[in-house]
């Protein structure tokens, strides 16, 4: 929960701080210190946004464009480096141990957060936050932490329902962390500025690091020592086994559904940073508190109501059909965002998009069934690498789409995202028609009923 809390707080705070810094710089205001940004300053900023005249719209477009560029560079640096880290460390989790992976991840994040805090504290050029993105990338971002955590849960639980229950608790704890981070960050920005959140995130990472080093025991036995050549061959075989290993499963099915996964992932990579900037700008001009409560509402919907809806659908519907329902929810959600002209249209997204993010999870489940049971680790480590690589492409592409189309039509980028989801939905429908649903999840089973008709019963029937 602490990891999810600090990750969400840092993400929300970064987006709003960068936008505020850029806009204040364009307004030629004196930006003295991140901790002394006054509430009146932000209120004036909101009022200037709400004016909506030609000069304020021009300033708004410049601020949105530059803030998007900084966010784009930051995400591309961290995600680009994390691809390499995941390629190297992901398949080697069993060999190097879960504890080492967690310590590496949290230590790199702590160094990056310390740099970011120093930049904000001294009101230095906002582009210097990109230095911290290098260390975020070296950490492997959240992929490394989740991979190590999943490994620990697998090592310490049995294969029955206990493991599923623990993983659900892990996901729920992260959801609670996201919910609290959204609300606390919103009010903290309003009353205290942007700096306290960075100190809080750095403190949480420091506590996490100490706790892992002192209290966490490595569950995996130490592997036998191998020379560098043997380790290199083993690493290559694990990385490329999804392509070269004929025993992994039906590769035709796997690559088909991987294509669906890539399209779905691509559509949502830049949604969070762009949507926050979108809400900060005209005609919405939202405050940090409103963004916080809105994000908290989305977190509750996605972490509590979405699993309940999926669980109910699972009782009567196969995954392939649930995927189509989730994609419809996502498409309508993006359309509502793109066409929104007032606040209530954005609020409808919370209800409409409850299960919009469930599509990726459903595709993961479909892929897991296509892969042999002894190759599940290979599948998910390779998917983490694909996920990170797609994130780099998606953020670069959609950030440029937002910058180029915003002066013409502010919500165009969300309609493009929805178009990608529609394409993935059509491809998923095509593959479902070709390959069919997995027989293991057929819901209406035929039961053989033996009926014995005795002479007495036969007479009764004839009469």
Per-residue pLDDT 10s for the chain (463 aa) are: 788 899 999 999 999 999 988 888 877 644 444 444 443 455 556 656 666 555 566 777 888 889 999 999 999 999 899 888 887 776 666 667 778 889 999 999 999 999 999 999 998 989 999 999 999 999 988 888 887 787 777 667 665 445 555 665 777 778 888 889 999 999 999 899 999 999 999 999 999 999 999 988 876 555 545 444 444 444 555 555 555 555 666 778 888 999 999 999 999 888 988 998 899 888 888 888 899 999 898 888 887 788 888 888 888 888 899 999 999 999 999 999 999 988 999 998 888 888 888 888 888 888 877 877 666 666 777 777 888 889 889 999 999 999 999 888 989 999 999 999 999 999 999 999 998 876 655 554 444 545 455 555 555 444 4
Would you state the pLDDT for residue 424? 96
The answer to whether 273 touches 324, Cβ cutoff 8 Å, is: no
* 189 phi/psi in degrees, rounded to 5: -60, -40
Task: State the Cα–Cα distance between residues 172 and 1, nearest whole angstrom.
Answer: 8
Q: What is the pLDDT of residue 35?
A: 41
378 contacts: CB under 8 Å, gap ≥ 6: 91, 238, 241, 242, 245, 248, 371
Buried b (16+ CB within 10 A) or exposed e, 273-287: bbbbbbbbbbebbbb
Question: What residues have CB less than 8 Å from 192, skipping those under 6 apart?
Answer: 35
Q: List all residues 6 or more positions away from 47 whose beta carbon is below 8 Å from its beta carbon.
A: none
d(CA 226, CA 244): 23
Region for 213 from its dihedrals, namely left if φ exceeds 0, alpha if ψ lies in -120 to 50, beta otherwise: alpha
pLDDT for residue 197: 95
**Alpha-carbon distance 279 to 300, whole Å?**
19
Distance CA(211)–CA(162), nearest Å, equals 25
Distance between CA atoms of 357 and 417, rounded to whole angstroms? Answer: 13
Cα distances (Å, whole numbers) of residue 391 to 5, 126, 156, 375: 21, 23, 31, 24
Q: Which residue carries 């095509």 as its tokens?
A: 430
- Say how far apart CA 91 and CA 100 lie, in whole Å: 14
Question: CA 298 to CA 70: how far, in whole Å?
Answer: 25
How far apart CA 271 and CA 157 sit, in angstroms, is: 35
Q: How far is it, in rounded angstroms, from Cα 294 to Cα 303? A: 14
Q: Which two tokens stand for residue 351?
A: 């209800």
The span from the CA of 168 to the CA of 45, in Å, is 42
Longest pairwise C-alpha distance within the chain: 101
Give, rounded to a whole angstrom, the gap between the first and last alpha carbons of the chain: 72
For residue 312, what are the contacts with CB-CB under 8 A and spacing of at least 6? none
Separation of alpha carbons 327 and 421, rounded Å? 6
- In Å, how far are 5, 129, 205, 370, 403 from 2, measured between CA atoms? 5, 23, 8, 34, 34
Beta bridge partners of 371: 249
| CATH number for region 2-437 | 1.20.1250.20
- Check residue 328 and give its pLDDT: 95
What's the pLDDT at 37? 43
């Amino acid at each position: 929960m602490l990891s999810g809390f600090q990750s969400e707080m840092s993400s929300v705070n970064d987006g709003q701080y960068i936008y505020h810094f850029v806009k204040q710089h364009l307004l030629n205001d004196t930006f003295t210190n991140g901790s002394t940004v006054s509430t009146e300053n932000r209120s004036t900023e909101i009022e200037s946004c709400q004016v909506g005249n030609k000069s304020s719209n021009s300033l708004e477009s410049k601020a949105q464009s530059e803030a998007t560029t900084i966010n784009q560079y930051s995400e591309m640096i961290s995600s680009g480096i994390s691809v390499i880290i995941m390629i190297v460390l992901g398949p080697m989790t069993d060999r190097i141990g879960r504890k080492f992976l967690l310590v590496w991840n949290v230590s790199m994040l702590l160094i990056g957060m310390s740099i970011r805090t120093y930049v904000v504290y001294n009101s230095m050029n906002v582009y210097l936050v990109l230095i911290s993105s290098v260390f975020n990338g070296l950490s492997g971002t959240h992929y490394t932490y989740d991979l190590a955590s999943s490994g620990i849960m697998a090592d310490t639980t049995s294969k029955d329902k206990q493991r599923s229950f623990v993983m659900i608790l892990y996901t729920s704890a992260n959801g609670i962390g996201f919910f609290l981070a959204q609300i606390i960050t919103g009010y903290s920005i309003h009353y205290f500025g942007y700096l306290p959140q960075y100190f809080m995130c750095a403190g949480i990472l420091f506590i996490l690091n100490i706790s892992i080093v002192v209290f966490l025991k490595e569950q995996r036995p130490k592997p036998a020592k191998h020379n560098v050549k043997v380790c290199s061959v083993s690493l290559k075989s694990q990385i490329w086994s999804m392509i070269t290993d004929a025993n992994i499963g039906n590769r035709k099915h796997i690559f088909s559904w991987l294509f669906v996964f890539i399209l779905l992932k691509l559509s949502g990579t830049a949604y969070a940073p762009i949507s926050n900037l979108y809400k900060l700008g005209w005609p919405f001009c939202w405050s940090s508190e409103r963004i916080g409560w809105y994000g908290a509402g989305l977190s509750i919907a996605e972490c509590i109501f979405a699993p309940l809806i999926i669980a109910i659908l699972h009782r009567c519907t196969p995954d392939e059909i649930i995927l189509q329902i989730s994609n419809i929810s996502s498409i309508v959600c993006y359309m509502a965002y793109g066409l929104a002209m007032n606040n209530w249209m954005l609020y409808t997204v919370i209800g409409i998009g409850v299960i919009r993010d469930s599509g990726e999870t459903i595709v993961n489940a479909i892929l897991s069934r296509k892969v042999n049971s002894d190759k599940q680790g290979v599948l998910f480590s390779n998917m983490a690498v694909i996920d990170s690589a797609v994130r780099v492409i998606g953020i670069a592409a959609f950030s440029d789409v937002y910058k180029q189309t915003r002066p013409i039509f502010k919500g165009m980028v969300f309609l493009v995202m929805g178009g990608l989801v529609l394409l993935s939905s059509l491809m998923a429908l095509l593959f479902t028609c070709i390959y069919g649903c997995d027989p293991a999840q057929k819901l209406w089973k035929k039961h053989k009923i033996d009926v014995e008709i005795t002479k007495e019963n036969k007479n009764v029937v004839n009469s």
